[in-house]
Amino acid sequence: MPVPPAQPPIASPSHASPSNTAPASPPPLQSPLASVHAALGAHLTEFAGWRLPLRFTSELAEHKAVREAAGLFDLSHMAQLDVAGDRAGEALDRALTGRYRGMDVGRASYSLILAPDGGVIDDLIVYRLGESHYLVIANAANRAPVAAALGERLAPFSVALKDLTGRRTLIAAQGPAAPGIVRQILSDADRSLVDQLRYYRIAPARTAGGTEVLLARTGYTGEDGFELSAPSERAVALWEELMAAGRPQGLVPAGLAARDTLRLEAGMSLYGHELSRETTPWDAGLRHFVALDKGDFVGRAALVDPAGAPLPPRRRLVALSGTGRRAAREGCAVVLDGTAVGRVTSGALSPTLGHPVALAYVDAAAFPAQPAAGTVLDVDVRGRVQPFTVVRPPFYRRPRPAA
């Protein structure tokens, strides 16, 4: 099924003026919460074709609030793709790397969509909403290629694909106080869902203010919390309900900058950094999310040898923990015995831990096996070599409630 374009088409270069001025880019897409962002004085940035809050106050304050209380994120830029039809599960089994026919209704699955050569087109969350109904959440930057690939792969199964991006908003409440805040805004009939929904589960619900939502216990921060999908015309009302309930408990609006440092502390990969069309699931350490024994799927042939065994990775993703205050940033060289053997893909001075953390790829030729925890590697940080230690991710793990 054809999917509506994400934005107006760009003028052809043949329409340029005689002065060879490049055609103007289309204006960024606006979140349904744009008026809220303006009222709060958010510092905005263009991201994946959208105009979004980078921060509302400071990245550090927002990061700290999520770790200690709760943060509220506008994720309306994330692609929401509706998949429905009698053979929807079978079609997704063929299109993606995981198992979907056997998923229980109400479950979610972290998933990958691969190119035929095994490269990662995107990482996704797939929710099973009904026996023949699924919701696929994709990264904003990959909305068009994911929609195109899914449309092509689902067509032989007569499965309908609808792009709901823009028509539905997505808001995430994340942090230790988030469950209590979400419980407060739900209708009396649905408040028990907060306790019933385990991690990676989803259910329809209604707020006390009358907004119909899909309530998912998922997130990208390493904290407990929920993501709420709702019709875009209800976006402002839903945001205001959450803020009114959560403000006394320390809930603050949070932007993209804090979301990035939170996900890095949680050891979560980000497309365009740890994942790309040049990356295979084996490179990224995501073998657990590839069901080689389920039958054929797009990209499988490129991942295995003639006997069906997984091919070795070309590089290995490692988590690195440093000392001091100098962060290793994306692009910094990883050095072994004076020779560059890899590159940092994400790095920051961890606001929670107080020392540098990074994710990096190292060449499989230099590391025939995954580097063990405790291995020391050097990183060239702006001309100065600093030691980093390989650790098992995540860097930060949220405290578990006492039994």
What CATH number is attached to the domain comprising 254? 3.30.1360.120
Mapped onto helix, strand or coil, the DSSP state of residue 258 is helix
The predicted structure's pLDDT at residue 7: 30
My answer on whether 150 and 182 are in the same domain is: no
DSSP string over 299-335? TGGGGB-TTSPBPPPSEEEEEEE--SS-PPPTTPEEE
Does some domain include residue 275? no
- Whole-prediction pTM: 0.92
**Positive or negative, the Cα torsion across 50, 56, 59, 63?**
negative
The predicted structure's pLDDT at residue 59: 98
My answer on whether 67 and 41 are in the same domain is: yes
Does some domain include residue 126? yes
My answer on whether 212 and 361 are in the same domain is: no
d(CA 190, CA 204): 9
User: Which of these three, 163, 178, 195, is where a domain ends?
Assistant: 163
CATH number at residue 104: 3.30.70.1400
My answer on whether 155 and 84 are in the same domain is: yes
Torsion from C-alpha of 381, 386, 389, 391, nearest 10 degrees: -20
Does some domain include residue 307? no
**Residue pair 241/209 in contact by the 8 Å Cβ criterion:** yes
User: Which of these three, 163, 179, 208, is where a domain ends?
Assistant: 163
Region 197-223: mean pLDDT is: 98
Confidence of residue 17 (pLDDT cuts 50, 70, 90): very low
Does some domain include residue 383? yes
Helices (H) and strands (E) in the chain, counts: 8, 20
Confidence of residue 399 (pLDDT cuts 50, 70, 90): confident
**Residue pair 359/267 in contact by the 8 Å Cβ criterion:** yes
My answer on whether 257 and 172 are in the same domain is: yes
316: its two tokens: 């290995």
Strands 356-363 and 43-47: unpaired
Mapped onto helix, strand or coil, the DSSP state of residue 72 is strand
The helix (run of H) or strand (run of E) holding residue 240 is helix 235-246
Does some domain include residue 60? yes
Does some domain include residue 278? no
Residue 361: phi, psi to the nearest 5? Answer: -100, 135
Q: What domain range includes position 351?
A: 314-396
My answer on whether 186 and 259 are in the same domain is: yes
Query: Helix 178-185 vs helix 235-246: angle between axes, to the nearest 10 degrees?
Result: 120
My answer on whether 171 and 159 are in the same domain is: no
Does some domain include residue 156? yes
Residue 107: phi, psi to the nearest 5? Answer: -95, 160
Q: Is 162 exposed, middle or buried (0-12, 13-18, 19+ CB in 10 A)?
A: middle
Nearest of 352, 354, 348, 390 to residue 373 by alpha carbon: 390
Residue range 139-177, pLDDT digits in tens = 999 999 999 999 999 999 999 999 999 999 999 999 999
Ramachandran region of residue 89, left (φ > 0), alpha (ψ -120 to 50) or beta? alpha
Region 75-85: mean pLDDT is: 98
**Sheet architecture: strand order including 160-163:** 108-114, 120-130, 133-138, 79-84, 160-163
Does position 334 have pLDDT exceeding 60, yes or no? yes
d(CA 379, CA 329): 10
User: Which of these three, 114, 132, 163, is where a domain ends?
Assistant: 163
d(CA 356, CA 352): 10
Does some domain include residue 4? no
What's the structural domain count of the chain? 3
Residue 244: phi, psi to the nearest 5? Answer: -65, -40
My answer on whether 209 and 186 are in the same domain is: yes
Confidence of residue 400 (pLDDT cuts 50, 70, 90): confident
Does position 61 have pLDDT exceeding 90, yes or no? yes
Q: How many CB atoms are located within 10 Å of the residue 309 CB? A: 10
| Mean pLDDT, the chain, whole residue set | 93
The predicted structure's pLDDT at residue 290: 98
Confidence of residue 14 (pLDDT cuts 50, 70, 90): very low
